[in-house]
Amino acid sequence: MIGANLDKIRKELPKHVVLVAVSKTKPLEDIQEAFDAGQRIFGENKVQEMAAKWEVLPKEIEWHFIGHLQRNKVKYLAPFVSLIHGVESLRLLKEINKQALKSNRIIDVLLQFYIADEETKFGLSKEEAEVLLSSEEFKLLQNIRIRGVMGMATFTKDQEKIRGEFQKLKTIHTDLLKKHFSGVHVFDTVSMGMSGDYSIAIDEGSTMIRIGSSIFGFRN
């Protein structure tokens, strides 16, 4: 079933859109089944669970951290994480940089933006990001690489509202690219869209979607 679900989603995706299979709370055998069906990128939102899965699952897997990351947990991910999706402060960036240096790595991250109407969502405003990216402290961080932006739309059935929020994130990406990353090829990721809204996200310029239930079924 997992393989068939993946095939169905892949057929719908444009070639430039990366699929992150959200495997949080899923057993090892489900992830292995998805891996055997060709999926290589998996997303987790709990540090201990992700580290435990990394230990035993195939090393070809790219692990993305998609949750709210606490600074004191960064050290557990630093040796292996491929991409950290939700960075929203200079303090967290500095800690990721510090732990990346200890692991002799450069860690890729996305800046998370607050685009929804829900207080439960995290993220930077565009103004906060401008201050962060212009700061001298940021310029000293040599062991992180900002790959792009990430945001989550409001949980609603109102598709035009969702579309507007995704447009806002795409505009932020375009503006930051011009102002802070011109000539840099790595600031190329717009991570937006989940199982319920990824079609709209792709229409509005997403290059990376996070899908769990449509691949693995609903979590118990």
Instruction: Render pLDDT for 1-57 as a digit per residue (tens, 0 to 9).
Output: 999 999 999 999 999 999 999 999 999 999 999 999 999 999 999 999 999 999 999
218 belongs to a structural domain: no
Enclosing domain of residue 76: 2-213
What would the two tokens of residue 164 be?
A: 């507007």
151-156 long-range contacts (CB < 8 A, ≥24 apart) are: 151/112, 151/113, 151/114, 151/115, 151/116, 151/123, 151/191, 151/192, 152/115, 152/116, 152/121, 152/192, 152/194, 153/115, 153/116, 153/192, 153/197, 153/201, 154/116, 154/117, 154/118, 155/116, 155/118
147 belongs to a structural domain: yes
Can you tell me the mean pLDDT for 88-101? 97
87, pLDDT greater than 60: yes
77 belongs to a structural domain: yes
Q: What is the pTM of this model?
A: 0.94
183 belongs to a structural domain: yes
Contact assessment for residue 4 and residue 194, using Cβ atoms and an 8 Å cutoff: no
Q: How many domains does the chain have?
A: 1
219 belongs to a structural domain: no
CATH number of 114's domain: 3.20.20.10
pLDDT at 220: 46
With cut-offs at 50, 70 and 90, classify the pLDDT of residue 183.
Answer: confident
What would the two tokens of residue 37 be?
A: 């069906």
- In sequence order, the 6+-apart residues with CB closer than 8 A to the CB of 140 are none
153 belongs to a structural domain: yes
With cut-offs at 50, 70 and 90, classify the pLDDT of residue 210.
Answer: very high
Of 185 and 144, the one with more pLDDT? 144
Which of 155, 136, 143, 140 is CA-nearest to residue 194?
155
59 belongs to a structural domain: yes
Cα–Cα dist 53/40, whole Å = 14
220 belongs to a structural domain: no
